[in-house]
Structures are given as structure tokens and as C-alpha cells.
């Protein structure tokens, strides 16, 4: 398993499309900041996007995709400087077959606005302390006119839009799986278009550190150390440690330890393994040693963590 695949599994990534709807009247939605991610794709027409963090509006055109992986507040609308409805109210109306921005009696040739917008969410466990979540970009914009090589990605979006409008058997599963692919592809596009931007995504894309991260996340026995990782990517220990810390944001030894505890937390929360097995998989030779280290790192014993988190974890 590569590092990104392992991370997405551990943070329990779940994606979905909220709606894909036609708007034929002037419209505006205000989307608040959220702990998870959001995306919009404009399938038809033109509209405006305004970020709370930036006063300059952004014009969106047919085929554009925008994403807020860390859930930034923003407004999306057909016109600038018009009152916006809360996104929750719009979503509720659409779900109850009462789209507030669609007049079913209007003739197409008389409509001042003709937009088709798809909106969705990328949800994940943001409580996990990991550089991947910390370094997720606030905003990604894929302009259709600048990326003709990504027409296949827009074709994927079209499939999602068709499935999200229908109630055929399996449509919900298809939408969820394809929006997960969309999330991963958006991250890939961001990595490729920002090759010099520091952060965990750059580390994943780095020939040396990316390989080391893949080794860490593929390892199931907790027997890797910094010397082995440095050797595996043909770097000295000092060169490897410096490069790893610069890109990832922490020393390789710290990352190794942090990730082993995250895997242990996942096993305690969702698995049925006993404490000894989890301790051994985390690199400890006894339950006592593991319990002591776990409590120092997490703030509570493994047993207390398992009991508390299972009580507050909804079924998958």
C-alpha cells in the first residue's frame, strides 16, 4: 500500500455529491467554514466565486472545478453583490424537490440565468494529527480552458452528475466511489501544478521522500528505522533526515512513532485485536511498555481510549 492510500483509509475518507441541479433564476449561496472539504463543478454557464479570505472575486466558467479540501468559507453566485441564502437552506430545498433557484414555469429563452452546478463533500476524520491533514491546500481551482489535458476528469464529473440525478440501483455507491477518485485526482493536479510548494503533498511527490513514506506505510511490523529508510533511498542518514524534515515538517523518527500510534488508535477503535498484538505491531515488546508510551502520547491508557472512542463512533 502506498502512503496516500494508507492515509485515506486511516482518516476514513468518505466523499459524496450533495446535489446536481439546474438554476434558471439569479442565485447565491453562502457556504460557511467546515471541518471537512467541499467541491463545486460548474457543468454549464458562468458564475462567481468569492472567498472569505480574498476580496477579489473569481469567475468560473463551464467545466471549472473548485475544491476546498479543508473546508474554507466562501460564496458562489450567478451575480456579484446579491444577498445569499445559507447553503443548508438551498440543500434542504433541493432535497425536498423545492429548488429555490429554479422556476419550472419559465421558458428557457426568457431565463436570464442558465447554470448547472454540482456540489459535494469530502469528509474525513480531521481529529487525526498528521501532516497530510495539516498541509491540505485551502483552495484548488482547475480551469477548463487552461487544462484541456484533463478533459477525462471532466468526463468523470459528468458521470457523477448523471448518476447523482438518478435513482437507479447502485447510483449512490457509484457517486461515492467516483467522488473519491475526484478528490485524489484534485490532489494530484495540485501536486503537479505546485512542484515547489513545501508541505506533505510535495513530500509524497518527491522521488526520495515519497519512496520512504511508501515504505513506512507499507510496513506492518514496525521494524523500520531511520538508517534503513535512508539506505533504501540511497541517502546518508543526515541528508535523508534533513530532506525528510524539510518536506514533511518533522523528523523521520517522530513521523514513524506518530504513525505507529495512529495505526494503534485505529486498531483500538475499530478492530478486535488484543493489546499484546497491537503492542507488537507498534514496535513494543510488551503490553506494559506499549501502554506507558501510548498514555504519554495520547493522554489516556489504551483500554480507556478503546472504550471511550467506541462509545462515540457511529457504525460505518
Same domain, 13 and 107: yes
Q: Let me know whether 133 and 49 are in one domain.
A: yes
In a domain, 316, yes or no: no
Q: How many separate domains does the chain show?
A: 2
Report yes or no on 198 lying in a domain.
no
Give the percent of the chain with pLDDT over 70: 97
Specify the pLDDT at position 167. Answer: 76
- The answer for 301, left when phi > 0, alpha when psi is -120 to 50, beta otherwise, is beta
**Domain match, 177 and 233 both:** no
Please check whether residues 155 and 19 belong to one and the same domain.
Answer: yes
Q: How far apart are CA 299 and CA 44, in angstroms?
A: 51
Determine the pLDDT at residue 34: 82
Q: In the predicted model, is pLDDT for residue 312 greater than 90?
A: no
Average pLDDT of the chain, as a whole number: 90
- Asked if residue 185 and residue 101 are part of one domain, the reply reads yes
Domain check: are 149 and 20 in the same one?
yes
75 pLDDT exceeds 90? yes
Residue 28 in this model has a pLDDT that exceeds 90: yes
CATH code where residue 283 lies: 1.10.10.60
Query: Do 213 and 187 share a structural domain?
Result: no
221 three-state secondary structure = coil
Q: How far apart are CA 71 and CA 138, in angstroms?
A: 7
Q: Please tell me the distance from the alpha carbon of residue 159 to that of residue 193, in angstroms, as a whole number.
A: 25
Q: Do 68 and 151 fall within a single domain?
A: yes
The last residue of a domain, from among 193, 218, 234: 193
The whole-model pTM stands at: 0.82
Query: What's the pLDDT at 50?
Result: 96
* Whole-number pLDDT of residue 196: 72
pLDDT at 315 over 70: no
Residues 34 and 125 in one domain: yes
Residues 150-179: pLDDT tens digits?
Answer: 888 888 899 999 888 887 888 888 998 899
Residue 234 belongs to a domain? yes
- Residue 201, domain member (yes or no): no
Q: What is the pLDDT of residue 117?
A: 95
Q: What is the pLDDT of residue 139?
A: 92
Range of the domain at 264: 206-311
Asked if residue 236 has pLDDT above 60, the reply is yes
Contact 91, 161 (CB under 8 A): no
Same domain, 67 and 157: yes
- Flag whether 199 is in a domain: no
Statement to judge: residues 133 and 39 lie in one domain: yes
pLDDT of 240 above 80: yes
Residues 48 and 151 in one domain: yes
Q: What is the mean pLDDT of residues 266-273?
A: 88
Q: Which residues of 45-56 are buried (b: 16+ CB within 10 A; e: fewer)?
A: bebbbbbeeeee
Amino acid at each position: 500500500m502506498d502512503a496516500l492510500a494508507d492515509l485515506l483509509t486511516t482518516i476514513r475518507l468518505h466523499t459524496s455529491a450533495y446535489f446536481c441541479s439546474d438554476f434558471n433564476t439569479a442565485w447565491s449561496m453562502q457556504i460557511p467554514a467546515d471541518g471537512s472539504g467541499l467541491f463545486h463543478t460548474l457543468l454549464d454557464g458562468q458564475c462567481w466565486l468569492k472567498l472569505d479570505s480574498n476580496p477579489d472575486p473569481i469567475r468560473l466558467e463551464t467545466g471549472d472545478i473548485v475544491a476546498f479540501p479543508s473546508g474554507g468559507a466562501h460564496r458562489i453566485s450567478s451575480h456579484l453583490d446579491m444577498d445569499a441564502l445559507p447553503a443548508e437552506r438551498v440543500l434542504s430545498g433541493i432535497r425536498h424537490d423545492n429548488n429555490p433557484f429554479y422556476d419550472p414555469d419559465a421558458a428557457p429563452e426568457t431565463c436570464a440565468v442558465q447554470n448547472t452546478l454540482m456540489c459535494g463533500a469530502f469528509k474525513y476524520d480531521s481529529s487525526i494529527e498528521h501532516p497530510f491533514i495539516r498541509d491540505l491546500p485551502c483552495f484548488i481551482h482547475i480551469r477548463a480552458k487552461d487544462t484541456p489535458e484533463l478533459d477525462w476528469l471532466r468526463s468523470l464529473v459528468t458521470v457523477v452528475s448523471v448518476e447523482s440525478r438518478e435513482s437507479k440501483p447502485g447510483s449512490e455507491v457509484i457517486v461515492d466511489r467516483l467522488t473519491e477518485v475526484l478528490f485524489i485526482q484534485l490532489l494530484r493536479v495540485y501536486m503537479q501544478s505546485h512542484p515547489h510548494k513545501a508541505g506533505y503533498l510535495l513530500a509524497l511527490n518527491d522521488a526520495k521522500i515519497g519512496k520512504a513514506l511508501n515504505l513506512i506505510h507499507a510496513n506492518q511490523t514496525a521494524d523500520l528505522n531511520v538508517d534503513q529508510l535512508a539506505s533504501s533511498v540511497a541517502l546518508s542518514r543526515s541528508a535523508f533526515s534533513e530532506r525528510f524534515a524539510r518536506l514533511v515538517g518533522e523528523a523521520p523518527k517522530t513521523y514513524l512513532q506518530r504513525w505507529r500510534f495512529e495505526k494503534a488508535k485505529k486498531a483500538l477503535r475499530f478492530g478486535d485485536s488484543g493489546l499484546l498484538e497491537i503492542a507488537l505491531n507498534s514496535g513494543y515488546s510488551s503490553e506494559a511498555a506499549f501502554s506507558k508510551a501510548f498514555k504519554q502520547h495520547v493522554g489516556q491508557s489504551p483500554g480507556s481510549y478503546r472504550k471511550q472512542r467506541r462509545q462515540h463512533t457511529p457504525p460505518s
